[in-house]
A and B are shown apart, each in its own frame.
Chain A
Amino acid sequence: MNTDRFMLGVPSSKRTVAASLVVLAAMLVVPFVTTSYYTGLAMTALVFLMLGVSWNLLAGYAGQISLGHAAFFGLGAYVAAWLTTPSAAGLPAIPFPLSHPVVALVLGGVGAALVALVTGPVMFRLRGHYFAIGTLALAAIIRLILTDQRSISGGSTGYYLNAGMGEIPTYLLTVVVAALATIGVYLVVNSRLGLGMRAIHDDETAASGLGVDPLRYKMYAFLISAFVAGLAGAAYALNSLYINPTSTLAVTWTVDTLVIVILGGMGTVAGPLFGTVIFMIIDNGLASVLGGLATTVEGIIIILVVIFLPNGIYGYLKSYVAQRREGDTATSS
């Protein structure tokens, strides 16, 4: 039996699987039963889910706080734009399989992962807060370069994509990719790779004394995380069909991602899911009720969660359920 090998903090019951399938089915029918406004919201939620899953793997599991995720997101968006609509960047025509939106989306992830592959060994010379600052600087540099290179990024005028897959198919593709990314990261977390990452997260010195090569497992986390963030960016570009350096590389993407994972619960697979739902409700619900005050109230809610529910909302629910169970077994025995 290999199932509970690495399972601490990971839900694995049939009920969880059933609930996930229901959510997945609901997401798939959204464009057929609601308006395009709600489909747009659902698309945004999926993009945030992918970003949350991505950041959570690196920070929540491998313990490496990145403040540069907007860079991977933006790169993914631009790679998808260049491949599907090369003429807008003055690029020669891209042959068919590469220019197809599905391939472009995957390559958006690959492009982001390549940047992680090249920059990771340098970034990971920095530890803790310095790594965080390093990634922030990396993102700033990438943003500067793209903003500066108007011919390939569209500058502030932006970049119009001509992806030609239609609104609903693109949305459905996003649902599938988000689900696969979530499942993929779930499998990684529960594998040998995940064990190495979690050991480093808890104590890098102890881990390396037991044979874990810290750089190697940080790099695995960085690559996979960048890949998923790139997918999110590419999905965003293909859905919105218009991007510019500010809209895709702005630090707000990183901040919102942090908020989602911290609200939901770092280092848990369900955390980003819960965080995304709560974030979407707060972000959109509050704005419609409170108008200009929404951001302030949002900030207060986040501070309260961090103070009173340091393990996030999913973390709180999990320990609440565990306590109830313990109480039950104690009274029944």
Chain B
Amino acid sequence: MSLLNCNGVTKRFGGVVALDDVSFEVERGETVGLIGPNGAGKSTLFKVITGSHAPTEGSVHYDGTDITGWSPHDICHEGLVKTHQIVRPFENLSIHQNVEVGAEFGGRRPENVEERAYEALEFVGLDERAHETPTELSVGALKRLEIARVLATDPGILLFDEVAGGLDPEETEEIVSLIGDIKDRGKTVFLIDHVMRALMNVSERVFVLNNGEFIAKGTPAEIQNDEQVIEAYLGTSAERDEGPTRGEA
């Protein structure tokens, strides 16, 4: 049985169809990438999975449990967590406390909260700044704080929404190696990237979303050579392939 299963998920915002009958499965231990142009519906899909939006139609199953329409905190307790495309630190809490929130409330076992939070910070390389406030962190460090917070909940699957968005190549490389380490811990990872980049090379499979619909699924190599993808997305302009073209929305 697959770990995550979306079946016929549709999400409408008034007249806007953000997701149109989306179905897919993610297997346990797998790393799956999700790409697509601006406004394709990627973030919406992640929000539907983690409960901040209820789908208009369709269902989401996690580990055999129907979690459609559950609240975000219940879904987190079940083992699904998401980082935010635009970072959302708790600004009046210390960096350590930010992670403690995940460790304390996110899992089913709020034991050794302090140590577990510290471990997560160490994992992302922020342990030495544990007692500062997040307002002093760079964007790259804030992205790593997002990762530490969700890791501290001891999740089964991690959804990363453009976790390397807006970062320079060096910072991106750090994130890529972090994701590699997370995979090595046996976690399932589902990640969004705006363009086919380094992040996609950690993925075993890549889904391509365009206008709320999947237009391709396959290995990174297959996706890079897929006619339809090139046309609809990668090939829309030669300059775009050169690198990140866009700040964060």
A201 surroundings in chain B (CB, below 8 A): 92
With A8-B133, A212-B73 known to touch, is A207 a contact of B92 (CB < 8 Å)?
Answer: no
A203 surroundings in chain B (CB, below 8 A): 88-90
Choose from B81, B92, B94, B107 the contact partner of A209 (Cβ within 8 Å). Answer: B81
Interface string of A201-213 (1 = CB under 8 A from B): 1110111111111
Question: Interface extent on A, as a size class?
Answer: 20 to 34
A209 surroundings in chain B (CB, below 8 A): 50, 52, 72-73, 76, 81-82, 84
User: Do A212 and B105 have beta carbons less than 8 Å apart?
Assistant: yes
With A8-B94, A8-B97, A199-B101 known to touch, is A210 a contact of B71 (CB < 8 Å)?
Answer: no
How many B residues touch A, CB cutoff 8 Å?
Answer: 31
- Any A CB within 8 A of the CB of B93: yes
Separation in Å of the B88 CB from the closest CB of chain A? 4
Interface string of A1-36 (1 = CB under 8 A from B): 010011011000000000000000000000000000
- Any B CB within 8 A of the CB of A196: yes
A199 surroundings in chain B (CB, below 8 A): 90, 93, 101, 105
Choose from B73, B133, B149 the contact partner of A208 (Cβ within 8 Å). Answer: B73
- Any A CB within 8 A of the CB of B150: yes
A6 surroundings in chain B (CB, below 8 A): 97, 100
Q: Please classify the interface of chain A as helix (H, G, I), strand (E, B), loop, or mixed, using the class held by over half of its residues.
A: helix
Chain B residue with minimal CB distance to A217?
B105
- Any B CB within 8 A of the CB of A271: no
- Any B CB within 8 A of the CB of A192: yes
The complex places the Cα of A265 from the Cα of B106 at a distance, in Å, of 30
With A209-B52, A209-B76, A213-B73 known to touch, is A8 a contact of B92 (CB < 8 Å)?
Answer: yes
Best-surrounded residue of A2, A8, A198 (most CB of chain B within 10 A): A8
Separation in Å of the A146 CB from the closest CB of chain B? 37
The complex places the Cα of A50 from the Cα of B104 at a distance, in Å, of 30
New contact pairs (12) apart from A6-B97, A8-B92, A196-B101, CB-CB < 8 Å: A5-B114, A8-B97, A201-B92, A202-B89, A202-B91, A207-B90, A208-B52, A210-B73, A210-B81, A211-B101, A211-B106, A211-B107
23 contacts between A and B (CB under 8 A): A2-B114, A8-B94, A8-B133, A192-B110, A196-B101, A196-B104, A198-B92, A199-B93, A201-B92, A202-B92, A203-B88, A203-B90, A205-B72, A207-B105, A208-B76, A209-B52, A209-B72, A209-B81, A211-B76, A211-B101, A211-B106, A211-B153, A212-B73
